[in-house]
Amino acid sequence: MIKENIEKILKELPPGVELAAAVKGRSIAEVKEAAAAGVTILADNYLQEAAEKIEALGRVARWHFIGHLQKNKVQKAAALFDMLETIDSFELAQVLDKECGRLGKVMPVLLEVNSADEPQKAGLEPAEVESFVGRAGSLAHLKISGLMTMGPLVDNPEAIRPFFRKVKEIFDLIKSKAYDNLDWRYLSMGMSDTYKIAIEEGANIVRIGTAIFGIRR
């Protein structure tokens, strides 16, 4: 069923929109099937889980980190992942930049935006994004590549549209200005119940778990 679900979703996606399979809590066999079905991004929330999957499967796709990254886990994350989507403070970016320098790599990252200003959630406040980007020239080992948002939990998927629209407006504002050290191309928004709305509002990465793998048991 995983293969069929992925094929259906991929047919729905417009050109230029990438599918990231959200693999938190999924078995290695399930993740392997997703990669074989054509998923080119595998996204995990947990470092240890991802490490086990990468060790078992190798680089069958690009691996993105989409969980909350603590500073004391940066060393492991920098070594494991191809992109970190959840940079939520300049201090975290500085720690990561230093570690990537030590590893001799340049890491693409997305800035996580707390689009609903929810106090319990991580992410930059919308008003903080431009200030962060303005300081990004000092981060020689990071490639600031766009924005990511979760959005609030909603009963009606349509209710999330204004939050996605807000983040797209920030994305476009940054794109219109000539900042240093940017590779400004990705807007990661939308999950299984909201990805179609996210695409309508400009997302070009959608992070889908349940609609691919089913409800976790």
Confidence tier at 119 by pLDDT (50, 70, 90): confident
Predicted confidence band of residue 211 (pLDDT cuts 50, 70, 90): very high
Q: How many residues does the chain have?
A: 217
**Residue 1 in tokens:** 């069923």
Which is nearest to 206 in space by CA: 51, 194, 214, 216?
194
Q: What percent of the chain has pLDDT over 90?
A: 92
Q: What is the pLDDT of residue 216?
A: 79
Task: Check pLDDT > 90 for residue 217.
Answer: no
Q: Give 82's contacts (C-beta < 8 A, 6+ positions apart).
A: 62, 63, 64, 108
16 band by pLDDT with thresholds 50, 70 and 90: very high
Model confidence band, residue 205 (pLDDT cutoffs 50, 70, 90): very high
And the tokens for 17?
């929109």
When divided into structural domains, the chain yields a total of 1
CA angle 44, 47, 49 (to 5 degrees): 70
Query: CA–CA separation, 67 vs 183, rounded Å?
Result: 22
Report the candidate in 52, 16, 55, 20 with the shortest Cα–Cα distance to residue 35.
20
Q: What is the pLDDT of residues 123-158, one digit of tens each?
A: 999 999 999 999 998 999 999 999 999 989 899 999
Q: What is the per-residue pLDDT for 120? A: 85
Place of tokens 């807007």: 187
Give 161-179 pLDDT, tens digit per residue.
999 999 999 999 999 997 8
197 has pLDDT over 90: yes
- On the question of pLDDT at 181 being above 80, the answer is no
- Span 45-99, pLDDT tens digits: 999 999 999 999 999 999 999 999 999 999 999 999 999 999 999 999 999 999 9
How far apart (Å, rounded) are the C-alpha atoms in residues 217 and 212?
14
Q: Is 92 helix (H, G, I), strand (E, B) or coil?
A: helix
Mean local confidence (pLDDT), 104-126: 94
**Segments forming the whole domain that contains residue 16:** 2-213
pLDDT at 179: 84
CATH of the domain at 58: 3.20.20.10
Beta carbons within 10 angstroms of residue 107's beta carbon:
23
Bridge partner residues of 84 (DSSP): 65, 109
Residue 196 and residue 29: Cα distance in Å, rounded? Answer: 27
Q: Tell which residue, 128, 151, 18, 95, has the closest CA to residue 111.
A: 128
Task: Flag whether pLDDT at 39 surpasses 90.
Answer: yes
Residue type, 90: F
